[in-house]
Structure 1
Amino acid sequence: MTLALDLRHDGPLLDFRAELPAGRITALLGPSGGGKTSILRAVAGLLRLRHAEVRLGETVWNTAGVHVPTRERSIGLVPQHYGLFPHMSARGNVETALIHLPPEARRARAERAIALAHVAGLEERRPHELSGGQKQRVALARAIAREPEVLLLDEPFSAVDRSTRKRLYVELRRLHEQLQNTIVLVTHDLDEAAQLAHHLCLVRHGRLLQSGPTSEVLTRPRCEQSARLLDIPNVFSGQLIRAADGRHQLQWGPHTLRVSGLPDTVADGALRWAVLPSNVLLARPDKPWNSHLENPVPAQVREVIELGGEAVVRVTPAGLDDVAVQLRLPARAVRRYGVEPGHGIVVCLRTADIVPLLDPPLR
């Protein structure tokens, strides 16, 4: 069942409308203080807003004059710092979510959730006797013990080290495969969102910048704010013009670039556009090339920084002295083709990889 949200408030600032797909992991990605946790708390019924409509399929949790209490919503919540009771064992913490059940059923349900969260054998330990990863699993076991339709995770991996985090990613995806519930994950970590989420919502100042399948959002930002949030460094200005054959071209300094995928309603004139560093291609100097190369641009190498088996290369296109284009190349290609500061190279910007930033900025 789709989770439909229409949330508006003044403090914290929210003006957020979205539909989150059923049975998928949706990440709310944005900077700290951008309203992500407030959205999660509103879904949970923990935050009263000036206007809130929250619906899970046909079930209404919030609308005008209606506010279903948190305990009556089919949710499980893992807060940022887990919220475990220090005086209780791991089992006791999980059982606090099940006080609506008789004691015998409570114990059996808690044991199942503990096994699903991979903390079996730690039932009698108290939080101070658990590692960060174990605390996270106990908090997750408590959240799933009620068998919720929606699981809400507020930066659940922020307090654990990198290696533990990677193991927990695998466990969360495995758990989702077993339960098939809807998961809403709050994060400011782009890599985390890319690895875990099927669906991505970019959130800034309490507003939705863009949403859609994760792979699509990551590679096709619709506005400059989305591109910046996705850490895309290559954002440029050009002039859109219509060629004699009716196709769009982009005048970028002295370079005329072919572009595609623009709606017919787009008017000629100034255009901001982006290209991912991984989509800026190096024209091999040892291979003959001519018209088969898309949008070749001569450039001078300014900087080469090797990071393991990859290199970040910054170049200045000919005739655009104030512009820096970043590309990523295998370190072996840098050495093989003599990509060094001061050397001239040719980069190619494929038509399909030029992303027009058409949506107006939020105010």
Structure 2
Amino acid sequence: MAVPVADLHCDLSQLLPIPLEAHFCCKAGEVLAVVGPSGGGKTTLLRMIAGLSKPESGKITYGEQVWFDSQQKVYKTPQQRHIGYVPQHFGLFPHLSAIQNVMAGLDHVPKAKRKQRALDWLERVNLEGLPDRLPANLSGGQRQRVALARALAREPAVLLLDEPFSAVDRETRERLYIELARLKSQLAIPVIMVTHDIHEAQLLADRMILISQGQMLQQGKPFEVLSHPRNEAVARQMGLRNIFDAKVIAQEPGRNMTWLAFGEHQIAIENAPKMTIGQKVRWVIPNQGIRFNAITSGRLCKSINKLDVEIESLLVMGESVRVIARIAGVEQVINADIPTHLCDKLALVQGQKTTVALKSDQIQILQT
């Protein structure tokens, strides 16, 4: 019997054996990505939600159901929580066929209905025609789909995915992204996906949590976290490379503009927090805020922030080029990824002197 759809709320805290602080909600129909480096507490958090590990303190609720409450001494088993769980390496039984692996998760379904439900879900993950194959005779992507079908055939209250694409090659991973994105529109349950891949989270997640060393650094929509990182730890975890020092030299409340001294340059930023003149700050700008385009057409002049730079190196990475440029009067370099065709159009070469623009509304002051 299907479980009524509801939101998942977690409020967890522990010091041992692995420190962890987690406070969040995953709504029904939402994909929440938990992102962080290895050993940061991501899998531990997932196991706590699944009922496989017991937190020191806190509360986990699914709608009106209390799954865990340290004060009330409530601790529901994984079976009582009715979780769909896909571990890192899929957890398939090697001696069972694809359809038998899916049926193995259907103990709660009448025997007469198990086979048809398993076949239906294998078809939904595009594995029709392969029900009798053993895992050893399936590709990595096919094994991943069997594991996903087994979890979803249970009609779970919550779907938990632990690094779901880490065991497959890049081409297969890209295909599976499309499959999950298609399935996502059909799922009305909370889905929590653990990953260390920011790109994966941006593609698939409605919201994301950044976690490091057991601490939640920031949560929100992927684009919001990318464009408004709270501090330097978040910025670096999001893969932002352009982090600089500056000093506040003026504020214009009427225009909502703050001016910074950046080496020999003055740069303007919009919507900055209240600061004092002379205050030293750290600031970051994402790649989309750095403009190489339109240098030759003169449109760059519309930007307040223009920096004279010298191209130090160009690294071609398929459809994009990583440009490292030295800024006049500043020790640090600026990194920008631009499309290969634009790099060719601008005829950028090592040693070339040119100009870049920094979008004032994309510059973010970091908390220290």
Out of 2, 8, 12, which is 1:3 matched to?
Answer: 8
2:154 alignment partner in structure 1: 146
Measure, in 2, the Cα distance between the counterparts of 1:185 and 1:302.
39
Residues 1:58 and 1:263: Cα distance change in structure 2 (over 3 Å)? farther
Measure, in 2, the Cα distance between the counterparts of 1:291 and 1:245.
24
What amino acid sits opposite 2:187 in the alignment?
A: L
Measure, in 2, the Cα distance between the counterparts of 1:334 and 1:88.
53
Question: Following superposition of structure 1 onto structure 2, how do residues 287-298 of structure 1 map, counting pairs within 5 Å?
Answer: 287-288=297-298, 292-298=302-308
Measure, in 2, the Cα distance between the counterparts of 1:83 and 1:103.
23
Count residues in correspondence.
357
Aligned residue for 2:211, secondary structure, equals strand
Out of 40, 51, 67, which is 2:57 matched to?
Answer: 51
Out of 77, 87, 95, which is 2:95 matched to?
Answer: 87
Measure, in 1, the Cα distance between the counterparts of 2:253 and 2:104.
69
Question: Following superposition of structure 1 onto structure 2, how do residues 101-112 of structure 1 map, counting pairs within 5 Å?
Answer: 101-112=109-120
Residues 1:129 and 1:207: Cα distance change in structure 2 (over 3 Å)? same
CA drift of 1:49 comes to 1.5
Matched, 1:286 2:292: no
Residues 1:38 and 1:335: Cα distance change in structure 2 (over 3 Å)? same
Measure, in 1, the Cα distance between the counterparts of 2:207 and 2:213.
20
Question: Following superposition of structure 1 onto structure 2, how do residues 234-273 of structure 1 map, counting pairs within 5 Å?
Answer: 234-243=242-251, 247-264=257-274, 266-268=275-277, 269-273=279-283
Aligned residue for 2:91, secondary structure, equals coil
Residues 1:153 and 1:298: Cα distance change in structure 2 (over 3 Å)? same
1:299 alignment partner in structure 2: 309
CA drift of 1:351 comes to 0.7
More divergent stretch after superposition (348-357 vs 84-93): 84-93
More divergent stretch after superposition (1-10 vs 37-46): 1-10
Aligned residue for 2:361, secondary structure, equals helix
1:357 alignment partner in structure 2: 366
Matched, 1:311 2:306: no
Contact 2:11–2:58 under 8 Å retained in 1: yes
Aligned residue for 1:211, secondary structure, equals strand
Residues 1:89 and 1:305: Cα distance change in structure 2 (over 3 Å)? closer
Measure, in 1, the Cα distance between the counterparts of 2:203 and 2:252.
44
CA drift of 1:293 comes to 2.1
Contact 1:300–1:343 under 8 Å retained in 2: yes
Residues 1:166 and 1:205: Cα distance change in structure 2 (over 3 Å)? same
Contact 1:44–1:70 under 8 Å retained in 2: yes
Q: What's the C-alpha RMSD, in Å, of the aligned pairs?
A: 2.0
CA drift of 1:335 comes to 3.8
Measure, in 1, the Cα distance between the counterparts of 2:233 and 2:26.
21
More divergent stretch after superposition (147-156 vs 306-315): 306-315
What amino acid sits opposite 2:125 in the alignment?
A: A
Contact 2:26–2:191 under 8 Å retained in 1: no
Q: Structure 1: where are the runs of 5+ without partners?
A: none
Contact 1:310–1:331 under 8 Å retained in 2: yes
Aligned residue for 2:270, secondary structure, equals coil
Contact 1:199–1:212 under 8 Å retained in 2: yes
Out of 220, 227, 241, which is 1:219 matched to?
Answer: 227
After superposition, the C-alpha distances for 1:84-128 in whole angstroms (9 at most, x for unaligned) are 112222222112211123211223332322222222222222222
CA drift of 1:149 comes to 2.5
Measure, in 1, the Cα distance between the counterparts of 2:247 and 2:21.
33
What amino acid sits opposite 1:183 in the alignment?
A: V
Matched, 1:35 2:44: no
Residues 1:353 and 1:218: Cα distance change in structure 2 (over 3 Å)? same
CA drift of 1:290 comes to 8.4
Residues 1:290 and 1:174: Cα distance change in structure 2 (over 3 Å)? closer
Measure, in 1, the Cα distance between the counterparts of 2:185 and 2:299.
48
Residues 1:22 and 1:263: Cα distance change in structure 2 (over 3 Å)? farther
1:232 alignment partner in structure 2: 240
After superposition, the C-alpha distances for 1:171-211 in whole angstroms (9 at most, x for unaligned) are 11111212222211111112211211111111111111111
Measure, in 1, the Cα distance between the counterparts of 2:229 and 2:353.
30
Out of 7, 10, 18, which is 1:12 matched to?
Answer: 18
Contact 2:84–2:154 under 8 Å retained in 1: yes
1:119 alignment partner in structure 2: 127
What amino acid sits opposite 2:104 in the alignment?
A: T
Q: Identity over aligned residues, as a percent?
A: 38
Measure, in 2, the Cα distance between the counterparts of 1:168 and 1:280.
32
CA drift of 1:244 comes to 6.0
Residues 1:124 and 1:307: Cα distance change in structure 2 (over 3 Å)? closer
More divergent stretch after superposition (176-185 vs 329-338): 329-338
Measure, in 2, the Cα distance between the counterparts of 1:126 and 1:146.
21
Q: Structure 2: where are the runs of 5+ without partners?
A: 1-5
